[in-house]
């Protein structure tokens, strides 16, 4: 089994989105994902045996900011490989937290797999608003 977590070149993003392993994205989902990608300073993919299982990126509010918004899109097949993907993502996360010591975001309250994934990456959750729950991941000093 070959697992890769790596930055994605902007030139390869359209083919990456079309090659997701799982249900194809609807028009609204594709548009939202494209907006997130276009706003991101960094985009990463998680690939197992040539199947794209997840993609995520960072959107800082300004170029000089020390924090960024973390977004993540996974396919149902990512569950089968969640432990190796999380372990690889933890390694990348340590690198990203050097540049952005604070990562923020939100997750759907009922998205148990996403919440578990984010907790493994160090996320601390606040009280949600009924639909979304905010989280923060802080760089660990020391």
* Residue range 87-108, pLDDT digits in tens: 888 888 898 899 999 999 999 8
- Strand ranges (E), the chain: 3-7, 42-48, 51-59, 67-74, 102-108, 124-125, 132-138
Within its chain, how far is the Cα of 68 from the centroid?
A: 12
Question: Can you tell me whether residue 30 is helix, strand or coil?
Answer: helix
**Residue partners of 96: CB distance under 8 A and separation at least 6:** 42, 58, 68, 103
For residue 136, the model assigns a pLDDT of: 97
Residues of the domain holding 132 = 3-138
CATH of the domain at 8: 3.40.630.30
Model pTM? 0.84
| Structural domains in the chain (count) | 1
Q: Is 84 exposed, middle or buried (0-12, 13-18, 19+ CB in 10 A)?
A: middle
Q: Which of 86, 72, 89, 77 is nearest to 49 (CA)?
A: 77
């Amino acid at each position: 089994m070959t697992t890769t977590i790596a930055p994605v070149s902007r030139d390869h993003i359209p083919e990456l989105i079309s090659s997701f392993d799982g249900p194809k994205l609807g028009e609204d989902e594709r548009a939202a994902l494209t907006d997130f990608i276009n706003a991101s300073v960094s985009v990463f993919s998680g690939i197992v045996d040539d199947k794209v299982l997840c993609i995520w990126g960072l959107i800082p509010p300004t170029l000089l900011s020390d924090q960024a918004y973390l977004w993540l899109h996974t396919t149902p097949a990512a569950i089968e490989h969640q432990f190796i993907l999380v372990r690889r993502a933890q390694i990348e996360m340590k690198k990203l937290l050097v540049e952005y010591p604070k990562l923020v975001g939100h997750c759907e309250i009922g998205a148990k797999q996403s919440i578990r994934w984010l907790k493994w990456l160090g996320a601390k959750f606040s009280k949600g608003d009924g639909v979304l729950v905010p989280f923060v991941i802080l760089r660990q000093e020391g």
